[in-house]
Structure 1
Amino acid sequence: MPTLLETDAVLKRGLKALAKADPVMARLAAEGVVPQLRKRPPGFEGLAWIIIGQQVSTASATAIWGRLRSILEPATPERFLSLSDDELRMAGLSAMKVRTIRTAAAEIVEGRLPLDRLHELSADEAHDLLTRVKGIGPWTADIYLLFCLGHPDAFPGGDLAVQEAARIAYDLEKRPDAKALTALAERWRPWRGVAAKVLWAYYRVAKAREGSPVT
């Protein structure tokens, strides 16, 4: 079972291992690029929030989640399945997100998606279980594993900010795609999740230096 990113001590251990394994990570650490622990609740509530947040602004996701949460009490997959499509659409969910969360809720209730045991698995195994659910793609799976479970080796190779940060940090000719970045990330195992957090932090630093807004 992996040691989860739940304390600063674990984060620091991961940062030390990365600096030892990769001179670029060591340089970023020396420059003061230090990520923060950020975590959302694990389980159905956290997964639903991440699905809602796909391809919308943080403000919009927060507003939609607030409306949904007012009718989702308790915030369980069983309660979600009891709500009608009309109720969910009135809360602001798109038809696609209703279908995805319904499918995930059913998979959890029927025991095919054991959210309560994903932390016992490797990042790759947990990722595979999540992406078997129709509508949950690689990015959603990895963001859930990293920010809800605190899995130290979850790596969202498809995240554009992480890709751009890697391009700048490693002085690459072009922004790496998900396949290329995932290959690069092999050197960071079993702390790929910490490396992703470092790259997100570096992205903000790099954009601030350029005078570009961080989106």
Structure 2
Amino acid sequence: MVQFLHTQADLALALARLVQADPRLVPVLEKAGEPALRRGQPGFPGLARIICGQQLSTASARAIWTRLEAAFDPFHHEALRRARADRLGRLGLSAAKIKSIKAIAHALAKGELDLERIAQSDADTAHAALIEMHGIGPWTADIYLLFCLGHADAWPAGDLALQESARIALGLKARPSAKELSAIADAWRPWRGVAAHLLWGYYHVVKRREGVAVEAKPEAAQPAARTSTGKARRNGRTQRPSAVGTKPRAAKR
């Protein structure tokens, strides 16, 4: 059965199951605290927003997205498919991002990409379907599954912040490669996405810095969550947009 994180309560329950399955993560949760669940818009707008924000600061990504969203209201793949590249460029998109967004829009228009079916698929099947499309690499696919669909088992193994966080949290001698991190995360199925949320939170605490921003809204109006140590954490602490990881520079766009 495919598991999704729709509410903060879903995340709290999944975290409890995750640390029960792997006690090595208990001190990680105690130090990082329960992360706030962040959700972005699903479908074409969500994918386009992730691509827009790749390797940009939160402020720059937000500014470009604000202009793009205002220029195309409603934000529909058919409108972007027909849009002139020079117009998109004036809104702040690079040539590579224009090519990626247009390729996805064309795939949706032709029925080559079925985002509704992907939304119901298990993490590995959904990941494989997404990366078949030009412009959607492994990192983009998994960030979409995590933050736009709330998939509990998506796992962006190529994310540099996750790799570094896992190195520190698990006491590894070196930062694991994407392949090595995938093998480590096999023990966390079907909660690999939950582990990703936890490790990003841990990375922020121990490194005091964040990677490339993927902006998503925290779940609203949730009561203060409690960590495994019993200390309350207010959602207000996470009301600002924050980074979730660092896309590998060599990843496919």
Q: What is the deviation of 1:193?
A: 0.3
Aligned partners of 1:67 and 1:100: how far apart in 2? 18
- Worse-superposed segment, 109-118 or 40-49: 109-118
Which residue of structure 2 aligns with residue 6 of structure 1? 6
Superposed, which structure 2 residues align to 1:34-53 within 5 Å? 34-53=34-53
Which residue of structure 1 aligns with residue 175 of structure 2? 175
When the two chains are superposed, the root-mean-square deviation of aligned CA atoms in Å is 1.2
More helix by share: 1
Aligned partners of 1:214 and 1:96: how far apart in 2? 24
The Cα offsets for residues 19-75 of structure 1, whole Å up to 9 and x where unpaired, read as: 111111122223352111001000000000000111111111111111111211110
The Cα offsets for residues 128-164 of structure 1, whole Å up to 9 and x where unpaired, read as: 1110011211000000000000010001111111111
2:22 pairs with 1:22: yes
Aligned partners of 1:194 and 1:107: how far apart in 2? 30
Q: Does the 8 Å CA contact 1:73/1:79 hold for their aligned counterparts?
A: no
Runs of at least 5 residues in structure 1 that lack an aligned partner in the other structure: none
Superposed, which structure 2 residues align to 1:149-168 within 5 Å? 149-168=149-168
Q: Does the 8 Å CA contact 1:104/1:133 hold for their aligned counterparts?
A: yes
Which residue of structure 2 aligns with residue 63 of structure 1? 63
Q: Does the 8 Å CA contact 1:2/1:119 hold for their aligned counterparts?
A: no
The number of residue pairs the alignment matches comes to: 211
Paired AA for residue 202 in structure 2: Y
Which residue of structure 1 aligns with residue 89 of structure 2? 89
Higher relative contact order (CA 8 A, sep 6+): 2
Aligned partners of 2:204 and 2:40: how far apart in 1? 21
Q: Does the 8 Å CA contact 1:107/1:113 hold for their aligned counterparts?
A: yes
Q: Does the 8 Å CA contact 1:18/1:26 hold for their aligned counterparts?
A: no
Question: TM-score with structure 1 length normalisation?
Answer: 0.94
Q: Residue 86 and residue 99 in structure 1: after superposition, are their counterparts in 2 closer, same or farther (change >3 A)?
A: same
